Chain A
Amino acid sequence: MVTLRALLKVGVWAALLWLLLMLPTYRYWPLETSAKPLHLSKVVYEHRPYSIFVSHLQEAVYKLASKCPMPPARTRLILLGGSGSQAFYPDFLGDATAADEVSNLSLPLANFTQIRQVYQDLGACLGADGLRNSTVVLIPSLMSFTRTGARRESAYSFYELEKLKTRLYRGEADAVTPRLPAPLMRVLVELWRPLIPMRGFINAVRDETAYLRQSLKWRLRPSGPAPLRERPALDRDLSLRLIADFLPDAGVDRPFAEDQVAELDGLVKRIRAAGSAVVIVDQPAQAWLREAAPAFAVARQTLRRYAQANDVPYIDLTETAGDDEFFDALHATPEASAIWTRRLADALIALQATQPSALGVVARRAGAPGVGAPASDALP
């Protein structure tokens, strides 16, 4: 009994300390019911790193698990894609459609396999009715065609790796499942709160240590430019080299992993089989980059042909942005994010004018205000 009492005593103290660590996290990630729309924080398109999450991948993993199951009756416009399509403001796109809510679940480092995995997880939360009440806007990029493992030697996608890091999931590649049923996962995600900022803290310490080490080294033996705390803006050569690093199979000339083309097809079929409408959007790319990397043209052509062959509504935003709207090779500046969103909203409105059923359940009814007119006024 003495041991039992001691165990309880230590357990109670540990629980109290844990609760104490949980409290500050509510400031940055308030408790939300599953009825509240699924929004990832605006780190990318507003460049405001105020979130406690290390990345959108981490945020998506935790938030999806914390909101499962979601109310199925609401109509949803769901944006899926990679880091480039994180630029699109979900809350402003709602004005261009009749959707009750808009969720942008575009995640960095996404190929079609990862996009499909996110869609599957979302589907598990929405259920069959919820999926029927949704329309998916797929916004892939050149990077969506790279095979899993091309950027990091692993059979798991980055989304799955993030799930495994939480230790709340387990399983083989492409078969990672929660350890516990959804209701218990929600409880565990709550309990896991103190762990979420841990990696950010450790990363910050690691980055600072690396910077101090490099600075010291440079002071002792100055050679080359002094190390910088902030990452410098990328020049064109470096941008191209980085993109080539992401495309190890064929460089910038040919992006395709055949399995990813099949994944795109499988994803579209899966979305349609669930009763949802799907639209493909080709996101903006810089003119010089399109010329320097022929793979962009190949990806664009493939998407367009696929959309035509399978009767998927297609919006081409590739050439809509000037080079000054990018802060690096692929991503929009904060100001451009708003402009891109406006263009997408206008394109969606225009699409509804020509193909009234293209957006499925979230299409504005004919005659409703705004259909056929630009949504620009409603946007920044």
Chain B
Amino acid sequence: MIFLDPLFAVFCLTTILIAQFSPRGLAPLALSLGVSLLFMLLFLGPVQAAILLGFSAIGFAGLQLVARGYRAGLAIGVGGLLLLFIVLKKYSFLPEALTPAHLPVAIGLSYVLFRLIHLLVEHGADADTRPGLLRHLGYTLSAHALVSGPFQRYDEYEEIRERATRHEPLPAMARFVDGLLKVVIVAPLIQGLHAALERHGAGPLGYAVLLVAALVWVVYMYFNFSGYMDIVIGWARLCRLDLPENFDRPLLANGFHEFWSRWHMTMTHWFKTHLFNPLMIAFGRRFAPTRRMAMICSSLAFFFTFLLVGAWHGPTTPFLICGLLLGLGATANQISRETARGRKKPAAPGAGARLLTLLGASLTFLYISVAVSPFWLDQREFLGLLASTLKPVNLLVLLPSTLIGTAIALLVLRPIESRLHVVGQAAAPVLQSAPLIALRVVVLALFILGFGNAAPDFVYQGI
């Protein structure tokens, strides 16, 4: 794990100190670009750094095509980048001859792709806002958001650099330390629970155990991913930079779309801006604007968007199936929302309605948890899990029981999650005092140095 490397501690501290003595923190382009290049060289190695630089430079060439007014420039740029991305990520459906076996899969490539496509689509044709080469490299390869995101729009990135806000240091430090606590202590504990459940995935209750394991995996993923986010957001703030939030209490979500508006928010926003909205516009131009047609079009747009969301998560066939499941889930949710739109809503929902909402939320979590199981199941196991849902005993007994169990777990976890969310932020000032931050640092040191094994990598890193 990069963030546990002693060299990273030195690097991080150095960047924070530079940011303190520089009048505008790490905002000046030369500084931020220098930090990013050094970060890539030190922690990803020269080969991965060269891949990322090359990929970004090709994106810049595409930007020039669009800038010069080539009609097909945008399509060539986006298409070319996607093809190159598929090759560099070594998608499993590619013939072996096309996958460069000697090249490693560069960490952070997906986030660079997000930024490159965003630049091509939104700033390629706009001479006023289109970045020059250095700004382009600074934005696409920004050290703080390279490994685990988040995705940040170019205009926001530039505005934040201009502003170079001086944040309160203690809350930023608390955020950083809490992120490490999540990644180093909480997430591995949950991962251990998941591994124990996975080992007991056989036998008469095996299906239910695997469903619970799938749910636990998502909780693990949450702590791992949001922990990484806290680390980079805290670090960036200490360098007088701002990164957007990526999570907003996802356990509070009651439905599929609400979940995705609270989970990996910047990715959802990117897909909405660059895929869902253009699809809706294209459908709107082509089909008559009836209510029925609007429902079909939006369902289709959701389906394709989430199909790609799933496929983006990993380069193997199970992730395509994951995308298919997410697409179907999004479509079903959209149809149910559209259908419910015409109905009258009661002023205050009764107990029955609240129970139904809770069960709906449980179903959402269970469905998404199963859909993303390719993160921990291989193709055969994943298909086996899906197929075993159709067995009568699983469908009629174990699935409903797990659903009720999930609902109870949500009732317990939601208040805790709300509290956890405020850790490191203004709502819990006592946790941001120097002695309590120091206490967390000591606990972390005991765990990091006391255990021979390292904390898990960023959950998307090995995919």
A residues near B (Cβ < 8 Å) are 1-4, 6-7, 9-14, 16-18, 21, 161, 164-165, 167, 192, 194-195, 198-199, 202
* Chain B residue at minimal CB-CB distance from A199: B450
List of 7 A-B pairs having minimum Cβ-Cβ separation, nearest first = A13-B438, A165-B452, A198-B450, A6-B169, A14-B438, A3-B169, A9-B434
- Once A13-B435, A14-B441, A17-B438 are accepted as A-B contacts, the answer to whether A6 and B446 lie under 8 Å apart by CB is no
Q: How far is the CA of A164 from the CA of B449 in the complex (A)?
A: 11
Query: In the bound complex, do residue A3 and residue B16 qualify as a contact, i.e. CB atoms below 8 Å apart?
Result: yes
Query: In the bound complex, do residue A194 and residue B446 qualify as a contact, i.e. CB atoms below 8 Å apart?
Result: yes
Q: Please provide the chain B residues from 389 to 448 with a CB less than 8 Å away from any CB of chain A in the complex.
A: 434-435, 437-439, 441-442, 445-446
Query: In the bound complex, do residue A192 and residue B173 qualify as a contact, i.e. CB atoms below 8 Å apart?
Result: no
Q: Write out the residue numbers on chain A whose beta carbons fall within 8 Å of the beta carbon of B439.
A: 13, 17
* Chain B residue at minimal CB-CB distance from A168: B449
Question: Residue A10 contacts which of B17, B20, B441, B449 (CB distance < 8 angstroms)?
Answer: B441
Q: How far is the CA of A164 from the CA of B20 in the complex (A)?
A: 36
- Once A10-B434, A10-B441 are accepted as A-B contacts, the answer to whether A198 and B446 lie under 8 Å apart by CB is yes
Question: Residue A6 contacts which of B434, B435, B445, B450 (CB distance < 8 angstroms)?
Answer: B434
* Chain A residue at minimal CB-CB distance from B167: A3
Q: Please provide the chain B residues from 166 to 200 with a CB less than 8 Å away from any CB of chain A in the complex.
A: 166, 169-170, 173
Q: How far is the CA of A13 from the CA of B450 in the complex (A)?
A: 20
Q: Write out the residue numbers on chain A whose beta carbons fall within 8 Å of the beta carbon of B445.
A: 14, 18
Interface SS of chain B: helix
Tell me if B238 is interfacial: C-beta within 8 Å of chain A. Answer: yes
- Once A21-B442, A192-B449 are accepted as A-B contacts, the answer to whether A7 and B435 lie under 8 Å apart by CB is no
In the assembled complex, 17 residue pairs joining A and B whose CB atoms fall closer than 8 Å, in A order, are A3-B19, A4-B20, A6-B170, A6-B434, A7-B13, A10-B434, A12-B438, A13-B437, A14-B441, A14-B445, A17-B438, A21-B446, A164-B452, A167-B452, A195-B446, A198-B450, A202-B451
Q: Write out the residue numbers on chain B whose beta carbons fall within 8 Å of the beta carbon of A16.
A: 438
Q: Write out the residue numbers on chain B whose beta carbons fall within 8 Å of the beta carbon of A199.
A: 450-451
Query: In the bound complex, do residue B20 and residue A3 qualify as a contact, i.e. CB atoms below 8 Å apart?
Result: yes
* Chain A residue at minimal CB-CB distance from B439: A17
* Chain A residue at minimal CB-CB distance from B170: A6
Known: A3-B16, A14-B442. 19 other contacts (CB 8 A): A3-B20, A3-B169, A4-B20, A6-B170, A7-B13, A7-B16, A9-B434, A10-B173, A11-B438, A13-B434, A13-B438, A13-B439, A18-B442, A194-B446, A195-B449, A198-B446, A199-B450, A202-B450, A202-B451
Q: Write out the residue numbers on chain A whose beta carbons fall within 8 Å of the beta carbon of B173.
A: 6-7, 10
Number of interface residues of B (CB under 8 A): 23
In angstroms, how far is the closest chain B Cβ from the Cβ of A123?
Answer: 26
* Chain A residue at minimal CB-CB distance from B432: A6
Q: How far is the CA of A198 from the CA of B451 in the complex (A)?
A: 8
Q: Write out the residue numbers on chain A whose beta carbons fall within 8 Å of the beta carbon of B434.
A: 6, 9-10, 13
Q: Write out the residue numbers on chain A whose beta carbons fall within 8 Å of the beta carbon of B452.
A: 161, 164-165, 167
In angstroms, how far is the closest chain A Cβ from the Cβ of B125?
Answer: 41
Q: Write out the residue numbers on chain A whose beta carbons fall within 8 Å of the beta carbon of B17.
A: 4
Contact with A along B5-21 (1 / 0, CB 8 A): 00000000100110110
Q: Write out the residue numbers on chain B whose beta carbons fall within 8 Å of the beta carbon of A198.
A: 446, 450-451
Q: Write out the residue numbers on chain B whose beta carbons fall within 8 Å of the beta carbon of A4.
A: 17, 20
Q: How far is the CA of A12 from the CA of B441 in the complex (A)?
A: 11
Q: Write out the residue numbers on chain A whose beta carbons fall within 8 Å of the beta carbon of B449.
A: 167, 192, 195
Contact with A along B311-352 (1 / 0, CB 8 A): 000000000000000000000000000000000000000000
Q: Write out the residue numbers on chain B whose beta carbons fall within 8 Å of the beta carbon of A13.
A: 434-435, 437-439
Q: How far is the CA of A202 from the CA of B17 in the complex (A)?
A: 36
Q: How far is the CA of A77 from the CA of B13 in the complex (A)?
A: 48
Question: Residue B438 contacts which of A2, A10, A161, A165 (CB distance < 8 angstroms)?
Answer: A10
Query: In the bound complex, do residue A3 and residue B441 qualify as a contact, i.e. CB atoms below 8 Å apart?
Result: no
In angstroms, how far is the closest chain A Cβ from the Cβ of B236?
Answer: 13
In angstroms, how far is the closest chain A Cβ from the Cβ of B326?
Answer: 37
Q: Write out the residue numbers on chain B whose beta carbons fall within 8 Å of the beta carbon of A6.
A: 169-170, 173, 434
In angstroms, how far is the closest chain A Cβ from the Cβ of B449?
Answer: 5
Question: Residue B169 contacts which of A2, A18, A202 (CB distance < 8 angstroms)?
Answer: A2
* Chain A residue at minimal CB-CB distance from B174: A10
* Chain B residue at minimal CB-CB distance from A11: B438
Contact with A along B205-237 (1 / 0, CB 8 A): 000000000000000000000000000000000
In angstroms, how far is the closest chain A Cβ from the Cβ of B204?
Answer: 14
In angstroms, how far is the closest chain A Cβ from the Cβ of B13?
Answer: 8
In angstroms, how far is the closest chain A Cβ from the Cβ of B177?
Answer: 9
Max count, chain B CB within 10 A of own CB: residue among A7, A165, A192 = A7
* Chain B residue at minimal CB-CB distance from A15: B438
Q: How far is the CA of A9 from the CA of B169 in the complex (A)?
A: 11
Q: How far is the CA of A79 from the CA of B435 in the complex (A)?
A: 48
Q: How far is the CA of A30 from the CA of B91 in the complex (A)?
A: 58
Q: Write out the residue numbers on chain A whose beta carbons fall within 8 Å of the beta carbon of B166.
A: 2
In angstroms, how far is the closest chain A Cβ from the Cβ of B239?
Answer: 9
Q: How far is the CA of A6 from the CA of B173 in the complex (A)?
A: 9
* Chain B residue at minimal CB-CB distance from A164: B452
In angstroms, how far is the closest chain A Cβ from the Cβ of B441?
Answer: 5
Q: Write out the residue numbers on chain B whose beta carbons fall within 8 Å of the beta carbon of A2.
A: 166, 169
Q: Write out the residue numbers on chain B whose beta carbons fall within 8 Å of the beta carbon of A165.
A: 452
* Chain A residue at minimal CB-CB distance from B19: A3
In angstroms, how far is the closest chain B Cβ from the Cβ of A22?
Answer: 11
In angstroms, how far is the closest chain B Cβ from the Cβ of A130?
Answer: 31
Q: Write out the residue numbers on chain B whose beta carbons fall within 8 Å of the beta carbon of A3.
A: 16, 19-20, 169, 238
Q: How far is the CA of A1 from the CA of B166 in the complex (A)?
A: 11
Max count, chain A CB within 10 A of own CB: residue among B20, B166, B435, B438 = B438
Q: Write out the residue numbers on chain A whose beta carbons fall within 8 Å of the beta carbon of B20.
A: 1, 3-4
Max count, chain A CB within 10 A of own CB: residue among B13, B446, B450, B451 = B450
